[in-house]
Chains A and B, each alone.
Chain A
Amino acid sequence: MSVMYILIGCSLLLAIGFLLAFIWSVKSGQMDDDYTPSVRILFDDFGGKKETNQEKNES
């Protein structure tokens, strides 16, 4: 059963990794604005053709 020690150590390390990733994401401002990036991703270099089509379908 001593393999348990290793497993617990591994699981904790993994979890700490995720915690650090979360802290980093907050620190870098990813949680400050949860709307604009969702729009920004739709703009390609020529000015968001996807958006136009989508809106046309809706209307």
Chain B
Amino acid sequence: MKEIELPIIETNTKCFHCGDPCTESVINFESHSFCCAGCKNVYEILSQNNLCGYYDINQTPGLNRKIAIADNKFNYLSEDAVAQKLISYKDQEITGITFLIPSMHCSSCIWLLENLYKLNSAIRSSKVNFLKKTITITFQHQQTSIKELVTLLASIGYEPAINLNDIETTGKKEENRRLLYQIGVAGFCFGNIMLISFPEYFGLDSITKASFSKLFGYLNMVLSLPVFLFSAKDYFTAAWKGLKRKFITIDVPLALGILVLFARSAFEVITETGIGYFDTHAGLVFFLLIGKWFQQKTYDTLSFDRDYKSYFPVAVSAIRQGMETTVPVTQLQIGDRIIIRNNELIPADAILMNGNASIDFSFVTGESHPVEKVYGEMVYAGGRQMGSTIELEVCKKVSQSYLTQLWNSEYFAKDYQSRIQTFQQKVSKYFTIGLLITAFGSAAWWIANKPELAMPAFTAVLIIACPCALALSSPFALGTAMRILGKHKCYVKSPETVEHIARINTLVFDKTGTITQPSSASISYHGETLTEEEKECIASLAAHSVHPLSKKISKIYRQSQHKITGFKEVNGKGLEGIIQHKHIKLGSWKYVMEGIAEKNHLMTEKGDSSTKVFILINRYVPGYFLVQHSYRSGLKQVIQKLKLRFDLYLLSGDHDQEKTRLAHYFGDEEQLFFKQSPEDKMRFIEHLHQQKKYVMMIGDGLNDAGALKAADVGISVSEDTSHFSPASDVILDASVFEKLHLFIRFSKNTLKVIHMSFIISLIYNIIGLSFAVQGTLSPLIAAILMPLSSVTVIVFTTICTTLFARKGGLA
């Protein structure tokens, strides 16, 4: 409880460091204004070290530092076991370490972080990867420690995110580089083989000597070897893997085509019967790899496979044998006493033993108003304590908690596969069968009629029908679609996801945080009319509280210019103060009526304290503020558009007080389900699956994680995409929620483009096959037809997809 006299608040000054308006107090330092001590401290550190260039590159580049970091927050980094896992390399002098820094956001950040050596002389170098938001630091470990580094980073506003997942990760960088090597080699060979094959195409060999022909043939073969053995290797292994599991994937005809191309060409060169199709062979592999690379668009800063481990801290303070020690959360035992400080996450289901808990469950439910808990109450894992330090007793292990046990379900198993087959998967089976029938059929026909042409015809069919164009149409259409969606802040996990979106027919929404806006609630006043003066007084009283609800109330009326005396705030209950000789109390019914026995008409409307804020002016209650979630802008239009074409459902963990309001949007109360546990949500999706529905789940918190994963497409709506989202297929920036129906329609159109380009590639195949079955496929025709069909398909899909995006309002 605090009792102070407060100055009148100015709101015009902007903080030099973070650019936020200085609402509470202004700190003037070296002719600059700062909104809080945190921001001033950062400036002080930087100016002492001649690093003020930070403020020259961008205006107000810093992040708000109002929430101070506890001194002992990074104590766990002194533990060797934890530290060892973070280090990427170490020799006698130097240690290298990479941190993820989520708050990195502009070029000033890069500049400052790469000048870290000026702040700590033990740092040898620091290198930023902005897209991945990582910093790699090398330092002399005899002079400084990891804990000191992290503390330094945190002190200038770049606190690294260190969590359970980091400690168990391995890089996938190698795979990415491998593809680049493969493309490089294939491109090099393709270009040179083309060059060497030219004389043959133009019939120049007859003018010069025949000896060149032989040399060129062998040269081509040598150049094709690395393509065949290295660049195309993945297609053989993928085809083989598929066949072993009795799947005919697109890789089977591709691998067959590549193999036959090489074998027949080598045969022709060795027997001196021709020059082979080496150029087609290298070109095919080159184009295929380009397609693979194109669809490999990844969002480095986003993570689609996060589980609770990504959010839970590595270690937590616990009391063991009367001493406060740092314990890795994985080793927490039932009965352990843990200490949670301001802004720390509760890692396991626990019972509150000491202190005032005000828990923010926005990670879990999307609800941003803190929930108050009292002694002896159960607090579920995943909540974040706001306010003073609390003490809890662990009653379940981390992996067994109410929330985390979701991850034990089958959907989180590694080999869980989507029910939806992509177009390519469906088609390639029939395509391969058709191809083999044509190949063997033409071989059989030639054996009966002209046996010496059987082999050429058979191989030519396999070569020309190699579904290069088909294999390219999906990557390019989907890759383009992914890029367009990404540009509109709809981040898709993989190309297949775009196809999955195109196939859905049912949408399921979560309520809190998904269709409601967590940061803004609409506040309306109910009761007797207030005078202007009363309104002003209420607003300025509320402005002095840090509670999010008070902040909102303070903004609905103009604030008065009068001083407040006797200001008091009781955490989680309410606040009071005397202004203009009026004693005003704001808060729960119980709080404002404390010590007052008077009865009035509002007595019956006590209501839920979290949704109603009562006003008491000089011992009289004129009315209350009703707090309601405001729905996202454009929700009504989106729902109306979607309602026409899809089945819509709503699942909420809350009580059904908003039922009638929501029914107005969704049309029917039967589509709304309330009081759903995380488990219920997941089962509901399963239930829809059984009705043969293809489901898209739109959620936001960890409590939707099961349903998001179980659905055919899981979309997590996120206010800050670099910060938080449960495992899902799509991460949708909350600001573009109103474009959801456009995204779905665009995905459906992309699928159409794939169908059309399939027809184009079939036409090319039929032309080629007509040569092939007659046994008259010359290397020149193959060399023209293959790249021509590939380029047509690439150009067609890319342009068509872009056009559809324009037409669909996603230019």
Contacts and interface: CB of A to CB of B under 8 A. Distances in A.
Interface residues of B, number: 32
Contact of A36 (B53, B130, B191, B219): B130
Interface string A20-59: 0011001100011111100110110011110110010000
Given A15-B191, A39-B130, A47 B181 contact: no
A6 interface: no
Contact of B56 (A11, A19, A35, A48): A48
B56 A8 contact: no
B107 interface: yes
A4 B215 CA distance: 11
B185 A52 contact: no
Contacts of A48: 53, 56-57, 107, 111
Contacts of B111: 43, 47-48
A4 B212 contact: yes
A5 B192 CA distance: 15
A27 B130 CA distance: 20
Interface string B172-202: 0100110011001100100110011000000
A12 B184 contact: no
Given A15-B188, A26-B177, A47 B110 contact: no
A35 B184 CA distance: 21
A43 B128 CA distance: 14
Nearest to B110: A39
Q: Which of B52, B53, B128, B209 has its CB near the most chain A CB atoms (within 10 A)?
A: B53
A43 B53 CA distance: 10
Given A4-B212, A39-B110, A33 B57 contact: no
Contact of B181 (A1, A23, A49): A23
B604 interface: no
A28 to B, nearest CB: 11
Contacts of B209: 1
B368 to A, nearest CB: 32
Contact of A32 (B107, B173, B215): B173
A33 B188 contact: no
A39 B184 CA distance: 27
B90 interface: no
Contacts of A34: 131
A32 B184 contact: no
B184 A52 contact: no
B180 A26 contact: yes
A40 B56 contact: no
Given A8-B196, A46-B53, A48-B56, A40 B110 contact: yes
Nearest to A22: B184
B180 A31 contact: yes
Contact of A1 (B129, B130, B208): B208
A43 B106 CA distance: 13
Contacts of B53: 46-48
Nearest to A52: B56
Interface of A: 1, 4-5, 8, 11-12, 15-16, 18-19, 22-23, 26-27, 31-36, 39-40, 42-43, 46-49, 51-52, 55
Interface of B: 52-54, 56-58, 107, 110-111, 114, 128-132, 173, 176-177, 180-181, 184-185, 188, 191-192, 195-196, 208-209, 212, 215, 219
List the 9 shortest-distance A-B pairs measured between CB atoms, nearest first.
A47-B53, A36-B130, A19-B188, A48-B57, A33-B129, A22-B184, A26-B180, A39-B107, A35-B131
